[in-house]
Chain A
Amino acid sequence: MKEQIQRIKDELREALSSFDNLDLRELKLVEVEANLRKLRDLKIRFTGKKSPISEAKRQIGALPAEQRASFGKLIQETESEILNSIEHLERELASYALDLKTRVESLDVTIPGFRPESGSLHPITLLRQRIEDIFVSMGYAVEDDREIENDYYNFDALNIPEGHPAREAEDTFYTTNGLALRSQTSTVQIRAMERRGVPIRIIAPGKVYRNDTPDPTHIPMFHQVEGLCVDRGITMAHLKGTVAEWLRRLFGKGTKIRMRPSYFPFTEPSAEFDFSCFKCSGTGVFEGEKCRPCKGTGWIELGGCGMVHPNVLRNCGVDPQVFSGFAFGFGLERMCAMLYSIDDIRLMYENDVRFLKQFR
Chain B
Amino acid sequence: MNISYNWLKELIDFDFSAQELAEKLTNAGVAVDSVEPFGEDDYVLTFDLTSNRSDCLSHLGIAREVRALTGNHLKSLVNTERIPSDKPSDLVRIEASDCYRFTARIIKGVKVGSSPDWLVRKLEAVGERSINNIADITNYVMHELGQPMHAFDLDRLEGSRIIVRRARKGEKIKTLDGVERTLDDTMLAICDVCKPVAIAGIMGGEESGICEETTNVLLEVAYFDKNSIRQTSRRLKLSTQASYRFERGVDIENLIQASNRATELICEIAGGVDVEFVDIYPARSSRVTVELRPDRVRELTGVNVEREEILRILSLLGFILQGDFSSDKLSFEVPSWRHDISIEEDLIEEVIRIVGYDSISEELAPSFGAGEYQPNEARKRNLRKVLTDLGFSEAICYSFIDISHDEQFELASNFVNEGLDEKFITLKDSIIEGAVRMRPTLLPGLLDSIRRNFNYGQRNVRLFEIGRAFAALSKEHGAFPVERELFAIAMTGGYMLQNKALPIRELDFYDAKGALEAAFDALNLPEPSFKPENVRHLRTGQSAAIYFGDRRVGTLGRLSDSIAQKYKFRQPVFVAEVDLELLLSLEEEKVFYKKLPSFPSIVRDVAFLVSKNLSFAEIRRAIKEQEFPLLSRIEFVEVYEGREIPEDMRSLTIRLEYRSEERTLKEEEVEAVNEAVIEFLKASFGVVKRFS
Tell me the smallest distance from the CB of A353 to a CB of chain B, in Å: 5
**Contact between B26 and A118, CB atoms less than 8 A apart:** no
**Contact between B499 and A112, CB atoms less than 8 A apart:** yes
Tell me the smallest distance from the CB of A290 to a CB of chain B, in Å: 16
List chain B residues, Cβ under 8 A from A129: 381
Binary contact readout B127-161 vs A (1 if CB under 8 angstroms, 0 otherwise): 00000000000000000000000000000000000
**Contact between A220 and B430, CB atoms less than 8 A apart:** yes
Tell me the smallest distance from the CB of B485 to a CB of chain A, in Å: 10
Known contacts A165-B51, A220-B432, A261-B349; is-contact A238 B363 (Cβ 8 Å):
yes
**Contact between B427 and A241, CB atoms less than 8 A apart:** no
CA distance A268 to B300 in the complex (A): 10
**Contact between B481 and A139, CB atoms less than 8 A apart:** no
Within the complex, which residue of A138, A214, A261, A349 is in contact with B396, where a contact is CB–CB below 8 Å? A349
Binary contact readout B373-386 vs A (1 if CB under 8 angstroms, 0 otherwise): 11001000100100
Considering the complex, give the chain A residue whose CB is closest to the CB of B496.
A117
Considering the complex, give the chain B residue whose CB is closest to the CB of A238.
B365
List chain B residues, Cβ under 8 A from A149: 480
**Contact between B427 and A309, CB atoms less than 8 A apart:** no
List chain A residues, Cβ under 8 A from B431: 211-214, 220
**Contact between A139 and B369, CB atoms less than 8 A apart:** yes
**Contact between A240 and B53, CB atoms less than 8 A apart:** no
Tell me the smallest distance from the CB of B352 to a CB of chain A, in Å: 6
**Contact between B393 and A120, CB atoms less than 8 A apart:** yes
Q: Does B643 contact A (CB under 8 A)?
A: no
**Contact between A240 and B362, CB atoms less than 8 A apart:** yes
List chain B residues, Cβ under 8 A from A245: 362, 364
List chain A residues, Cβ under 8 A from B122: none
List chain A residues, Cβ under 8 A from B248: 165
List chain A residues, Cβ under 8 A from B389: 118-119
List chain A residues, Cβ under 8 A from B345: 268-269, 307, 309-310
Task: Tell which of A117, A138, A173, A201 has the most Cβ of chain B within 10 Å.
Answer: A117
Known contacts A201-B368, A213-B431, A348-B396; is-contact A115 B498 (Cβ 8 Å):
yes
Chain A interface, number of residues (Cβ within 8 angstroms): 88
**Contact between B438 and A175, CB atoms less than 8 A apart:** yes
Considering the complex, give the chain B residue whose CB is closest to the CB of A150.
B479
Chain B interface extent, by class: 35 or more
Interface-located stretch among A43-51, A65-73, A229-237 = A229-237
**Contact between A147 and B468, CB atoms less than 8 A apart:** yes
Binary contact readout B449-493 vs A (1 if CB under 8 angstroms, 0 otherwise): 100110010100111100010100000000111010000000000
Q: Does B546 contact A (CB under 8 A)?
A: no
Give residues 292-314 of B contacting A (CB, 8 Å): 299-303
Considering the complex, give the chain B residue whose CB is closest to the CB of A134.
B371
Within the complex, which residue of B52, B358, B395 is in contact with A351, where a contact is CB–CB below 8 Å? B395
Within the complex, which residue of B26, B348, B377, B468 is in contact with A269, where a contact is CB–CB below 8 Å? B348
Considering the complex, give the chain A residue whose CB is closest to the CB of B494.
A117
Q: Does A287 contact B (CB under 8 A)?
A: no
Q: Does A166 contact B (CB under 8 A)?
A: yes
**Contact between A351 and B499, CB atoms less than 8 A apart:** no
List chain A residues, Cβ under 8 A from B525: none
Beyond contacts A263-B53, A352-B452: 18 other A-B pairs, Cβ-Cβ < 8 A, are: A117-B496, A119-B388, A121-B393, A148-B425, A148-B483, A175-B428, A201-B369, A212-B431, A234-B365, A235-B301, A237-B301, A242-B365, A244-B362, A259-B357, A268-B346, A351-B446, A351-B453, A353-B463
10 tightest A-B contacts by CB? A261-B29, A237-B302, A269-B349, A136-B371, A263-B50, A351-B449, A235-B302, A112-B499, A241-B362, A119-B393
A interface list, Cβ under 8 A from B? 112-122, 124-125, 129, 132, 135-144, 146-150, 163, 165-166, 168, 173-177, 179, 181, 199, 201, 207, 209, 211-214, 220-221, 229, 231, 233-238, 240-242, 244-245, 257-263, 268-271, 307, 309-310, 324, 348-354, 356-357
B interface list, Cβ under 8 A from A? 26-29, 31, 50-53, 227, 230, 234, 248, 299-303, 340, 343, 345-346, 348-349, 352-353, 357-358, 360-374, 377, 381, 384, 387-400, 422, 425-432, 438, 446, 449, 452-453, 456, 458, 461-464, 468, 470, 479-481, 483, 495-500
